[in-house]
Every structure is written in C-alpha cells, then in structure tokens.
Amino acid sequence: MKQYSIVISLLGALLYGIAQSVAADNTKLEDDANRIAAEALKSPLAYQILESLTTEVGPRMAGTEQDALAVKWAVEKFKQLDFDRVWTEPVTFPVWQRGEESASIVAPYKHQLAVTALGMSIGTPEQGIEAEVVSFPTLKHLSEADPKQVEGKIVFINHKMERHRDGRGYGPVVKGRGAGAVEGAKKGAVAVVIRSVGTDSHRFPHTGMMRYADGVKKIPAAAISNPDADLLQRIIDRGEPVRMHLQLDAKIVGEYTSANVIGEITGSEKPEEIILIGGHLDSWDLGTGAVDDGAGVAITMAAAAFIKKMGFKPKRTIRVVLFANEEQGLVGAKAYAKAHADEINNHITGSESDFGAGRIYEFQSNVQSDALPFVHQLQRALKPLGVEYAGNQAGPGPDLIPLYRAGMGVFSLEQDGTDYFDLHHTPDDTLDKVDPEALAQNQAVYAVFAYLAAQYEGRLDLPEQKKKQ
C-alpha cells in the first residue's frame, strides 16, 4: 500500500506539474493573444494593403489584364510584408468577356435601364432581342408557370432581397440569378432579366454568376438595378403589354491561366501543419473589388504579417491563400485542393474572409468535441474584440469548401454584413465604403485566431458525424 501511495503521490505531483506548466503556457499564450489583439487594433496595415490593391490594380476580373497585374501585386506585397515563403500555383479557366450591354423598355413607355450581363451569360444577337416581358415574383413562380405564358418572351424575375446582418437574404434570391436562364429556357423564354440581387436602391445592376444546364438551350441573362426593377414592375402593373430590348455582347473567349498566390509564415515546430486563412484575389469587373474581396485579401495578409512583425513564432505554419477566380466558380479553390491533395490532412483548420469589411461580431466553430478547449480559449481571446461565440455549426468560406469536404474543421468569423449587399458585384464596390477601424478589428481577430490555432497542440478536424455527411 505504501509503495502504491508513493507512486500515486509521485504521479499526482507529476500531473500537477504538467497541469501547472500547461496553465502557465496557456496564460502566456493568452497574454500573447491579447497583445496581438491590442496592437493589431491600432495598426493601419490592412487598410494600407487594401488602398494599394484598389488604387494600383483596381478591378481584377478573372482572365483580364488586371488579373495578371493582381497576381504580380500580391507576390510583391507578400514579399514586402516579409512572409517566409511566397509562391504561385496555376489556375486555368475559360475567359468570359462582358462587352457592350444595354437594355431599354420600348413600349408602352421608353426607358433606358441600368443593366449588366450575368457572369458566363451568352450574348444576344448583334441587333439585340426585342420581346414582350413576363414578370414572376420568384424563380419558383417561373418554374411553376405555364409555358404558354413564357414562350417567346423575356422573363423578368422580380425577387427582392431582404437586408440582414448575416446576409441570409442572399440565398433565397440568388437562386434566380443562378438558375433563371435554365428555368426560363425550359419554357421557351428568349432571355432572362432579374432584379439585382442586392439590398440597395441605387441605379447599379449587380452582376454575378449564372449557370447553363446540359440539354437546355442557352439564353442571355442579365440583371437590372433595383430602381429599374421597380420601374419595370410599375409599368407591367399598368396592364398593357410591355416590350423590352436587350443587347449583350458577352461571350467566352478562350482560356487563361491565372494563379493562386500564397504566402506563409513557416511554423517553428510543425511547419508541415497548416492554418489556412485567406480571401479571393479576383473581383468582378464593375467596381474595384474593395469589399469583395479586397478586404479579405488585406485582412488576412495583414493578420499573418502582423504576427511575424511582432516577433511571435507560430509553431504551425500560417498560410495565407489568395484564391484565383472565386467569382466564376471557385476555380482557384478547386485547383488548390487538387494541388495539395497529398497534404490535405495537414490543413489543420482555416477561415476565409469573404463577406466585406464590416466588424466581426461573433464566431462559429465547426470542430470535433475534443477541440473544445481551443474553442474556449479563442472565445476568451476574442471577447475583448467584441466577438461572441455562436456555436459549433460554422460553414466554410466559399474557397474552403473543398478542404471542408475533406474533413478540415473550419471557423467562421462573422462580419456585420448589413450593408454588404448594397455594394456586392456593383460599380460601387470602392475603397470609400471601408471603415479603417472596422478593418483593423478584422485584422486583429484573424491574427488572434491564426496565432492561437498555430499554437494549439491538438487537431481541429470536423466532427466525425459531419465528415460522413
């Protein structure tokens, strides 16, 4: 018994020592996190990066001259920011060109409309299309319509997006953007025009991707601004036949190879294990891509750079990936997952910033239950930044979907997106819309997240039941 007691006492002392040491490490770590947060909150770094990108590059739609310029800019910026490794990985895709575009109501009244082609739409014949307009409140109404109502007409989907902080108004409405042309064509429509997927009331049409389906005729697809949608509906509501003229030069012109641009702060103890943060480097062509997704690029570049600049040595590698061509189908994300298939299990966790430049107000995790100590640590560290924990059901940012599907746990650092869809995919997505203080708070949150995740000993995989889904 006595020997047992001694053994137990020794064991107890040992465990106590370990616990003490872990507690001391954790205290040190949390102090470090607090220092990072406090310093990053005061730093203009992310804003400077965003200013540089929007001023020196501007719009950078996939496959354009400025796409190449953005890649060059990103490589140089990573180097200026003293990242340990900087490289590019090729991403190839078809090039969609917008061209000239116009739309007008020609009867019973004449109005020029603020219009833009949806991404990947085909063009109209050179002289345009003129046809009667038939209006549906939602995609569902179109899908359920009698083809006789639709045949030979231009379909107008007048689905108004709701404004919410978390952007949940987007999902229900964007379906019409994606599938409107297919549903319309199935019923014999000659073109589809949607109310812009956006919460503003300005004369800016919102572009964005649409899709065709095999075996369904391709018809041109465009968006008109919200005020123009109001006008068109008011005219339709008067009851006389309404005729529209639509002219789009949009087309696919060959293939282009752009690049994911990657910079990393190499881990001091487990360099092969990766904490991935990032955004997408491409934007639509209409604005300068300040909030979509220059902000995400700037926030995550700055966050990682900041950790190194403050002299911290993350144990795991913090990798910043600036994805190519997110807008036209997550092309860079798919290329990244493919190129890194053999090390996918080394991607410990990640978070993408792709919801503008608003302040982060909460975070969600999506990790296995034995990683909860990390979640609680992050919760304590982010609280001084005004960020609350909101549960273990985070979705991946769009470019993290392939990694998420491979089982990587994800974190969602939720930005206030109240105004995001006022600007999203419009000419109005410019630097003046970004609050430098909110951007600095984002940079602080990302820096704390990345650093804590890099120092955490355990894995941060998705819960087992989710992996099986």
Amino acid letter for position 259 = A
289 touches its own copies (CB under 8 A): no
CA R_g for the chain? 25
203 touches its own copies (CB under 8 A): yes
Q: Which of 78, 204, 306, 456 binds its own copies (CB under 8 A)?
A: 204
Binding mask 388-427 for its own copies (x = CB under 8 A): --------------------------------------xx
Q: Decide if 326 is catalytic.
A: yes
Q: Which of 202, 251, 308, 309 binds its own copies (CB under 8 A)?
A: 202
Which window, 76-84, 128-136, 225-233, 397-405, contacts its own copies (CB under 8 A)? 225-233
Binders of its own copies among residues 335 to 374 (CB under 8 A) are none
2 touches its own copies (CB under 8 A): no
Q: State both tokens at 51.
A: 């200013």
Q: Which of 28, 85, 234, 376 binds its own copies (CB under 8 A)?
A: 234
β-pairing, 251-265 with 409-415? Answer: unpaired
DSSP string covering 31-89: HHHHHHHHHHHH--HHHHHHHHHHHHT----TTSHHHHHHHHHHHHHHHHTT-SEEEEE
**C-beta separation of 39 from 51 below 8 A:** no
As measured in angstroms, the least distance from the Cβ of 208 to its own copies is 17
As measured in angstroms, the least distance from the Cβ of 171 to its own copies is 24
Which window, 58-66, 115-123, 265-273, 409-417, contacts its own copies (CB under 8 A)? 58-66
Binders of its own copies among residues 427 to 456 (CB under 8 A) are 427-428, 430-433
* # residues near its own copies by CB under 8 A: 32
Q: Which of 231, 310, 344, 390 binds its own copies (CB under 8 A)?
A: 231
Q: Which residue, 190 or 235, is less far from its own copies as judged by CB?
A: 235
**C-beta separation of 275 from 318 below 8 A:** yes
If DSSP codes are grouped into helix, strand and coil, which group holds residue 171? helix
Q: 59: cis peptide before it, omega within 30°?
A: no
As measured in angstroms, the least distance from the Cβ of 193 to its own copies is 18
Q: Which of 10, 18, 19, 56 binds its own copies (CB under 8 A)?
A: 56
As measured in angstroms, the least distance from the Cβ of 309 to its own copies is 24
- Location of structure tokens 């913090």: 318
Question: What backbone torsions phi and psi does residue 11 show, to the nearest 5 degrees?
Answer: -60, -45
- Location of structure tokens 């994911």: 260
- Location of structure tokens 């006008």: 231
Which window, 6-14, 34-42, 57-65, 250-258, contacts its own copies (CB under 8 A)? 57-65
**C-beta separation of 95 from 63 below 8 A:** yes
Please list the alpha-helical segments (H only) found in 57-204.
Answer: 65-80, 139-143, 147-150, 170-186
Q: Which of 128, 287, 289, 463 binds its own copies (CB under 8 A)?
A: 287
Q: State both tokens at 66.
A: 């400025």
Q: Which of 326, 327, 362, 414 is catalytic?
A: 326
C-alpha distances out from residue 4 to 9, 16, 30, 49, Å: 8, 18, 38, 63
Measure the CA dihedral 165/169/171/177, to 10°.
Answer: -130
Binders of its own copies among residues 94 to 153 (CB under 8 A) are 109-111, 114
Q: Which residue, 111 or 218, is less far from its own copies as judged by CB?
A: 111
Residues carrying an active site annotation: 326
Q: Give the interface with its own copies as residue ranges (CB under 8 A).
A: 51, 54-58, 65-66, 109-111, 114, 201-204, 226-227, 230-231, 234-235, 238, 287-288, 426-428, 430-433
